Amino acid sequence: MMPIIATHESTREYIYPADRRKLRVRIRCSRENIRSCSIVYWNRFNESVREHKDMVCTGRDNDWIYFSGELSFDETARYIKYYFIIGDSDGKTWCLGRDGLSPEKPRHFYEYLYTNELDVLNVPEWARGSVLYQIFPDRFFNKDRRNDPPGVVPWNSMPSRENFFGGDLKGIISKLDYISSLNVGVIYLTPIFKAPSNHKYDTEDYFSVDPSFGDMDDLRTLVKECHDRNIRIILDGVFNHSGYFFPPFQDVIRKGEASEYRDWFYIENFPVRTDPPNYECVGYYKWMPKLRLSNPDVRKYFIGVGTYWIRQADIDGWRLDVADEVDFTFWQEFRKAIKSVKEDALLVAETWKNGSDMLRGDQVDSVMNYLFRDAVVDYFATGEIDAYEFDHLINRMLHTYTADSLHVLYNLLGSHDTPRFLSLCRGNLDKMRLAIAFQMTFPGMPAIYYGDEAGTEGDNDPDCRRAFDWENINRELLGFCRKMTALRNSDRPLRYGEYRSIHCNGDTYGFARSIDGENTYIILNNSAEEKTLTIPCFEGFSEELRFVSLVSDKTYAPEKITAGEALHNSDIYDYCSKINMILPAYHFEIIKKGG
């Protein structure tokens, strides 16, 4: 039995093109006793010229240590054979080839064959690191009472699954300056198409705005006003299922097996019945029949929906509801059609699991990162895990996705499908601020669920869908959110940098964001006690050097690292100095090298 474990396959999870002349390669090894990893590679038509490149350790979790590297070529990356050399703490080396580990050079090698243009995952540049704001339209602001649906309840009523509050597109337009003050780069609206429910996930007409929200002109105005403020806007695409009153489904109900739409759905037998339903539904919910997207006519129809709203209203992309329940070949066709109309449109898939199978460059650009949310809830809100487990979950998630995908992941604290984060914190604003600080300094697209920035609370659906309380905004929390989003947008490492965990000790956690030699350090005290901390840094020691806080007026003088000093991850990162700091309970610090 080999004393170490190493995992790599010549698949897109481990080797993929950054562009046609550059490959990114990843490998993971058993956490303990691994000290180095390098890759040997060559073109199979020129075996005499072999390159040897050291790979960079990018982090580790409780089980694995991760290495990555970039291979650049003078021509299109093609016909590349390769293997790895792994060094352990005892000075021994091991080779990893196609057939596994060996103490000698492998007999068979991995191979990467060719980079085609469409193999490269191109995500919209504008979305990288951008702040996103999610709106549930019925609950945001009621500007035009003339379009209120019957039975609208008072704005401060408690939400139910059936009641309506009257929020509309004009209401969103009237609050764009408020949204812009949060330094938002993209707005996501939950469904706005005609549907009988308040949530609109039971679509009746995919080609019209629900009258209670407004009309096409209102949507066009909203999009234009957003674009004038340098804000993009994406809509919610419910293409896995329709509503019960969708005309093709109603046609099947009326005509049964004679309906031309009978194969648009998964109907077991005729006539159609609802109690219990004899057709497949999303979540067994009879008012939302599942669509048969293997049917070419259904595909054509919904690809037409996707391109229609881009052409007619100039929207900037789609959030795709329950995308992981849809035939992946539909998303491949959908992506081609959308990108042919607007090349930099953003496609975000809803999934509550590891969504890397949808991020191979042929389906979507991003996924809703509930893995991120779960870890943040467990560490900051409920305290169910300590910093060590949090670090494990975060690093496991970071190494699940490719480098390009990471910077457009939809990183949320909550949504219309979860309890409000502040309620999970039991109203503790200190914990809420810590979680926001982490979210706003983490790689990806930090997503604000409307009202979270103002102190809105609520249990799970429907309570998490309360109307925005414009009369009782928590101004202190709002100001904090504005400060953090502004800092994120102004600091290059926070928006675009790589992530390295540098401190982990029970209730305290720290990490660095780095790009092109510029580092920003984030340190968080997730406890009810003041903590004295030693934080390692990548900058070399000098008497003149100072680190400055980006959130206060404090400065910190670096110190030399003493021989044998134990610092988190010092065996995989090259620290050059350290600083000491005192963090009050539930406080954080963000620092970088002073100018």
The residues that bridge with 81 in the sheet, in sequence order, are: 42, 111
Residue 73 is predicted with a pLDDT of 97
Q: Is residue 126 part of a domain?
A: no
Residue 564 is predicted with a pLDDT of 84
Which amino acid would we find at residue 226? C
DSSP, collapsed to helix, strand or coil, labels residue 410 as strand
The residues that bridge with 237 in the sheet, in sequence order, are: 320
Q: Dihedral, CA atoms, 191, 192, 193, 198, nearest 10 degrees?
A: 80
- For the chain, give the number of residues: 595
Cα angle for residues 43, 46, 48 (degrees, 5° grid): 110
Q: Which helix (H) or strand (E) covers residue 496, if one does?
A: helix 492-496
Q: Rounded CA gap, 281 and 286, in Å?
A: 6
Residue 2 is predicted with a pLDDT of 65
The residue from 464, 494, 524 where one domain ends is 494
DSSP, collapsed to helix, strand or coil, labels residue 43 as strand
CA distances from 133 to 136, 140, 413 (A): 10, 12, 12
Q: Is residue 125 part of a domain?
A: no
Q: Rounded CA gap, 421 and 414, in Å?
A: 6
Q: What is the CATH number of the domain that holds 259?
A: 3.90.400.10
DSSP, collapsed to helix, strand or coil, labels residue 358 as helix
Which amino acid would we find at residue 128? R
348 and 487 share a domain?
A: yes
DSSP, collapsed to helix, strand or coil, labels residue 107 as coil
Q: Which two tokens stand for residue 333?
A: 């066709």
| Phi, psi (rounded to 5 degrees) for 157 | -70, 160
31 and 101 share a domain?
A: yes
Query: Average of pLDDT values for 18-32?
Result: 95
| Phi, psi (rounded to 5 degrees) for 161 | -75, -15
Mean pLDDT of all residues belonging to the chain: 96
Closest CA to 414 of 445, 383, 454, 370: 370
Q: Rounded CA gap, 591 and 550, in Å?
A: 6
What's the predicted TM-score (pTM) here? Answer: 0.96
Q: Is residue 81 part of a domain?
A: yes
Catalytic residue among 321, 365, 391, 452: 321
Q: Count Cβ atoms below 10 Å from residue 46 Cβ, excluding itself.
A: 9
Query: Average of pLDDT values for 460-475?
Result: 97
pLDDT interval class at 121 (50, 70, 90): confident
54 is catalytic: no
Catalytic residue among 204, 350, 365, 491: 350
SS3 helix, strand, coil % of the chain, rounded to 5? 25, 30, 45
Q: What is the pLDDT of residues 386-427, one digit of tens each?
A: 999 999 999 999 999 998 899 999 999 999 999 999 999 999
327 and 446 share a domain?
A: yes
471 is catalytic: no
CA distances from 528 to 396, 427, 508, 509, 586 (A): 27, 15, 11, 14, 6
150 and 72 share a domain?
A: no
Q: Rounded CA gap, 410 and 348, in Å?
A: 8
Sort residue 555 into left (φ over 0), alpha (ψ -120 to 50) or beta: beta
55 and 74 share a domain?
A: yes
Q: What is the pLDDT of residues 288-325, one digit of tens each?
A: 999 999 999 999 999 999 999 999 999 999 999 999 99
Closest CA to 483 of 552, 411, 585: 552
Closest CA to 6 of 20, 27, 24, 25: 27
| Phi, psi (rounded to 5 degrees) for 475 | -65, -35
DSSP state of 148: P
pLDDT interval class at 350 (50, 70, 90): very high
DSSP, collapsed to helix, strand or coil, labels residue 449 as strand
Please tell me the least confidently modeled range out of 469-473, 522-526, 562-566, 579-583.
562-566
Q: What is the pLDDT of residues 246-255, one digit of tens each?
A: 999 999 999 9
Cβ-count burial of 103 within 10 angstroms (0-12 exposed, 13-18 middle, 19+ buried)? exposed
The residue from 292, 312, 328 where one domain ends is 292
528 and 566 share a domain?
A: yes
Q: Which two tokens stand for residue 221?
A: 């105005």
Full residue range of the structural domain in which residue 269 is found: 242-292
356 and 260 share a domain?
A: no
Number of domains making up the chain:
4
Q: What is the pLDDT of residues 143-201, one digit of tens each?
A: 999 999 999 999 999 999 999 999 999 999 999 999 999 999 999 999 999 999 999 99
The residues that bridge with 535 in the sheet, in sequence order, are: 579
DSSP state of 142: -
Q: Rounded CA gap, 430 and 477, in Å?
A: 10
Q: What is the CATH number of the domain that holds 393?
A: 3.20.20.80
Q: Rounded CA gap, 564 and 570, in Å?
A: 10
Q: Which two tokens stand for residue 27?
A: 């490998």
32 and 56 share a domain?
A: yes
Q: Which two tokens stand for residue 592?
A: 């970088």
Q: Is the dihedral of CA 402, 403, 409, 411 positive or negative?
A: positive
More confident residue, 537 or 564: 537
Q: Is residue 170 part of a domain?
A: yes
